[in-house]
Amino acid sequence: MKKLIDILAALGGLLQPVFLLAVRLYWGWGFFGTGKGKLAHLDKVTGYFQSLNIPMPHLNAIVAGSVETVGGLLLVVGLFSRIVTLPLMFTLAIAYLTAESDALHAFFSDPDKFTGATPFLFLFAMLIIFVFGPGCISLDRIFFKEKE
């Protein structure tokens, strides 16, 4: 049994950089796309933010779109990865508090509603990068010698 556990641990260690790269690429590109969309349609996003009673909706639409666009690109290349997860997670927390407040309030009573909300997988991916780092296939590793 110990030999099997050792083999699986070694296999997991080999797959970790590829997995972290895949998470960064997929979700980073997703953030880039949503951020770019917000910036391209500021009037619509401002109106939507206004309907959610977000203060200073136009400014917050610009900030959210910029954080998602720049943060997404930084994730794709793996630069400042752990740092950039913080403003992205903050943006997702605001999304839960405003656009997905029903899902947030259902955290304990209906967890499927919470995990089925749009921000959940983005937030989960950011937690993975924050906790485990960007992996060795990243600019962080090259420039900052960040260890896993």
- Whether residue 7 is contained in a domain is answered as no
pLDDT for 14: 94
Tokens encoding 99: 């656009």
Half-sphere exposure of 52 (CA within 13 A, CB side): 22
The alpha carbon of 10 is separated from its chain's Cα centroid by a whole number of angstroms, namely 28
Range of the domain at 70: 19-144
- Whether residue 90 is contained in a domain is answered as yes
Q: Quick: pLDDT tens for 43-102.
A: 999 999 999 999 999 999 999 999 999 999 999 999 999 999 999 999 999 999 999 999
- Whether residue 28 is contained in a domain is answered as yes
Number of domains in the chain: 1
- Whether residue 9 is contained in a domain is answered as no
pLDDT for 147: 62
pLDDT for 67: 98
Q: What percent of the chain has pLDDT over 70?
A: 98
Residue type, 141: R
- Whether residue 40 is contained in a domain is answered as yes
- Whether residue 5 is contained in a domain is answered as no
Indicate whether 19 pLDDT > 70: yes
Q: Quick: pLDDT tens for 29-43.
A: 999 999 999 999 999
Tokens encoding 56: 């200073």
Residue type, 74: L
CA angle 52, 65, 89 (to 5 degrees): 80
pLDDT for 145: 84
- Whether residue 13 is contained in a domain is answered as no
How far apart are the C-alpha atoms of 129 and 109, rounded to whole Å?
28
> Mean pLDDT in the chain?
95
Tokens encoding 110: 């209906």
pLDDT for 76: 98
- Whether residue 10 is contained in a domain is answered as no
